[in-house]
């Protein structure tokens, strides 16, 4: 079991779009295993490759006891809207109301290259969107606007050492 350390805000890997996975090999299976071990830690709903220092388009999720992963995800069928507090392991201690689609469809592959389709609603939809954002070099604070964004950035400067 390998629980990898989480990269924190300020690490350039978090702001760099991840590379598509090209090889569904033993190295990828090891990354997926590490992601799943890492996401199983208490209080974790998702971990993306960049959060463990791996710039590949792969993430794991742990929602309602369902642990899974997705390689090269593409989101579609965004429907409805939800707004709830959202946090991030790479921005510890912060949480802000964040708008997300209420439901999404995520298409990608498993660690062996087999096609996978996940239909997520509610919290699972939020997790799928959050982790896919990580693969695009985006953090949830990037979606905030107005006073909430200003407050989040002030708090971020206060709690995250630079």
Residues assigned a catalytic role? 131
Indicate the length of the chain as a whole number. Answer: 162
Separation of alpha carbons 23 and 12, rounded Å: 24
User: How far is residue 45's CA from residue 15's CA, in Å, rounded to a whole number?
Assistant: 20
Instruction: Characterise 135 by phi-psi region: left (phi > 0), alpha (psi -120 to 50), beta (else).
Output: alpha
Owner of token pair 């997790």: 127
Q: State which H helix or E strand residue 72 sits in.
A: strand 66-79
Please indicate if the annotation marks 78 as binding a ligand: no
- Establish whether 119 is an annotated binding residue: no
Binding-site residue ranges for Fe cation: 88, 130, 134
């Amino acid at each position: 079991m390998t629980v990898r350390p989480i990269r924190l805000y300020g690490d350039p890997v978090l702001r760099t779009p991840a590379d598509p996975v090209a090889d569904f090999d033993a190295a990828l299976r090891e990354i997926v295993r590490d992601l799943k071990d890492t996401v199983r830690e208490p209080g974790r709903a998702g971990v993306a490759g960049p959060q463990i220092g791996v710039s590949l388009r792969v993430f794991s999720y742990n929602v309602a006891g369902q642990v899974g992963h997705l390689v090269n995800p593409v989101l579609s069928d965004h429907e409805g809207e939800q707004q709830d507090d959202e946090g991030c392991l790479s921005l510890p201690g912060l949480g802000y109301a964040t708008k997300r689609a209420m439901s999404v469809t995520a298409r990608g592959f498993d660690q062996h290259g087999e096609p996978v389709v996940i239909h997520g609603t509610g919290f699972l939809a939020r997790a799928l969107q959050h982790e896919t954002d990580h693969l695009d070099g985006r953090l949830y604070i990037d979606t905030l606007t107005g006073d909430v964004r200003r407050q989040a950035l002030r708090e971020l400067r206060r709690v995250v050492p630079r």
